[in-house]
Structures are given as structure tokens and as C-alpha cells.
Amino acid sequence: MTGELSPILEVEELEVRFHTRQEVVEAVRGVTFALGREKLGIVGESGSGKSVTGRAILRLVPAPGETRARWIRFEGTDLLGLTERQMRRIRGKRISMVLQDPKFSLNPVMTIGAQIVEAYRIHTGASLAAARQRALEMLEAVRIRDPERVYGAYPHELSGGMGQRAMIAMMLAPDPDLLIADEPTSALDVTVQMQVLAIIDDLVTSRGMGLIFISHDLNLVASFCDRVLIMYRGRVVETCRAEELHQARHPYTRGLLASLPRIDQPASDLPVLERDPAWAR
């Protein structure tokens, strides 16, 4: 399913639990998947565990969360066996993450250029001049027309779409093998969203990276990704090829799709999703 090449990432029986004073919340329950050099979408509603899954791969689940898995193999190495120090060398350099809102991920008091340079040098130890060169290249790669200006700009001086492009430039500068994008375009307007997606698409394909694309938007994932995992209450209820999502078999997936209003089909009432407790078992 992941092509002839060995997978970049293999996740086996991933469990994430949050211990609170009253109860134990099982956010992710027994998630297993493998990822090749492809675009894998993870879709689900809020509370499905899709974002927690993305963070768990990078071992970034905040306390009081507890991550367990048989293994999380990244190019053959089990990430769960690494020390925090070794993990820091993986994060950002080999596996990068892009979050929903660039406003919260970019440092407001540093220029875009300085942030890309800093991130790049931490991971590669390159010289300042080389890092600057690389930063400008990356800004060009995300189709920013005036890289010099954006390089010297502060995050608040950029629009949402520009900020997210800069964020992608920063994350892809060290040439990671895997990009985890958690709702990377949800804060953007639809037209800008398309442009940012095209940039991610190009970069991922041309560099032969793996992409985990976490989103709540079924139509977007169906049209953008190669393969889709559908999550419900911490479990993967269905896996399918993206173009076959609209013929999905699981009642949850079908229910979600049916509940979307459609421009081409007028309807007086939308079918409401009836949740079957059996799905969560």
C-alpha cells in the first residue's frame, strides 16, 4: 500500500491517555498505520484524537498525557526508545510540524528571516551566510514574490496566508523527511488555502517527503491526499484511498459526508448523524 520503498513511518498500537483527577481520558486508542512517500490525511471531528496522534509521533503530548505504543518507527528507529536529547535532533530537522495558526507559532518579536535562519542553524550548524541564503531560497520556494521584504518583516506585518507560507518555509528549510501538518490552512480564506496547499503539494512531491495532513474537512482531504484515515473517538474506523472517500463504507464516514450541505444538491433538511456506540468500541 505504501509503494515498494520501505515506509518512512510505522505506528503500531498507539495509545494516548490523559490522567485527570476524576478520570482517565483515552484520547487515542490502538492506532496503527504506515506511511510511505505519500500524502496521508487524518480526518475526524473535534475530540477524535487526530491532533493528539500527530503530536504523539513527535512525542509532544503535553502533561498529563501518557503516550504508549508497540513502536513508532521512523526510518527504522523506534522514536519511543530515544532520549529527549536525541528526540530534539529529530524534531524540526527530520520531522517538521506546521500548526493551524501562524500567529501562535511564530515569535512576534523576531523577523521572519531571523526565525528561519535560527531554526535552520540549530539543525544544520550552517554558517550565517549560508543560512540566510537558504532562508531566501525557501521563501522563494513557497512562492513569496518579494523574499527580501518578507525576510525582514515581523509576523504581524504579514497576512495569514503569508505567515503560513513563511511557517512552511521555516519548517521545510532543514529538508525533513516527514511533515506533519495540523489543520495548516483552516485559518485561511479558501482562495489562499488553495495556494498554500499547492505549495505543500509541490514541495512534498518534489522532495519525496511523507506528509501527514490532519484536518476536519472531508472534501479537502479527499481532493488533496493520497490516502485517508478516518478517526472517531480515538480509533481509526476506516482507511481508504482518498478518491474513494465518497464511496466510504463505514456508517460514521458516510454519515459525516451526508451531513455536509452541498451546492449542487438542494435539500430541505440535512441527514443528521446518528452515532452508534459500537463505533467507539
Partner 1 sequence: MTPTIDPAQPMLSVRDLRVSFGRGRNTVEAVRGLNFDIAEGAWYGLVGESGSGKSTVLRAVSGLLLDWTGEIAVSGRRQQPHRSRAFHKLLQMVFQDPYASLHPRHTVDRALSEPLSIHRIGEADRRIERTLMDVGLDPSFRYRYPHQLSGGQRQRVAIARALIVEPRILLLDEPTSALDVSVQAEILNLLHRLRREHDLTAILVSHNLAVVAHMCERLGVMQNGEMVEELTVDQLRASAPLHPYTRQLLRASAGYDPRALATLEETA
Work out which of 4, 128, 269, 277 binds partner 1, going by CB under 8 A: 269
Cell representation of residue 87: 528526540
DSSP letter at 274? P
Beta strands in 183-271 (DSSP E): 210-215, 227-232, 235-241
108-145 as b/e: b if 16+ CB within 10 A? eeebbbbbbbebbbebeebeeeebbebbbebbebbebe
Distance of closest approach, residue 130 Cβ to partner 1, in angstroms: 31
Which x/- pattern over 122-161 shows residues binding partner 1 (rule: CB under 8 A)?
--------------------------------------x-
Residues of span 215-254 touching partner 1 by CB under 8 A: 216, 218-220, 222-224
Closest Cα partner for 182 from 66, 43, 63, 80? 43
Work out which of 263, 277, 278, 281 binds partner 1, going by CB under 8 A: 263
Measured from the CB atom, the residue of 94 and 216 that comes closer to partner 1 is: 216
Single-letter code of the amino acid located at 227: R
Distance of closest approach, residue 270 Cβ to partner 1, in angstroms: 4
Q: Which residues contact 176 (CB under 8 A, 6 or more apart)?
A: 92, 93, 94, 95, 96, 209
270 is a site residue for partner 1 (CB under 8 A): yes
Decide if 41 contacts 244 (C-beta within 8 A): no
Work out which of 23, 63, 264, 277 binds partner 1, going by CB under 8 A: 264
Measured from the CB atom, the residue of 28 and 188 that comes closer to partner 1 is: 188
Work out which of 266, 277, 278, 281 binds partner 1, going by CB under 8 A: 266
DSSP letter at 62? P
Distance of closest approach, residue 15 Cβ to partner 1, in angstroms: 24
45 is a site residue for partner 1 (CB under 8 A): yes
Cell representation of residue 61: 503530548
Classify 248 as helix, strand or coil. Answer: coil
* Pairing state between β 210-215 and 227-232: unpaired
Binding piece for partner 1, criterion CB under 8 A, among 29-37, 54-62, 126-134, 269-277: 269-277
Single-letter code of the amino acid located at 85: R
191 is a site residue for partner 1 (CB under 8 A): yes
> Could you list the residues that contact partner 1 (CB under 8 A)?
45-46, 160, 189-195, 197-198, 201, 216, 218-220, 222-224, 255-256, 259-264, 266-273
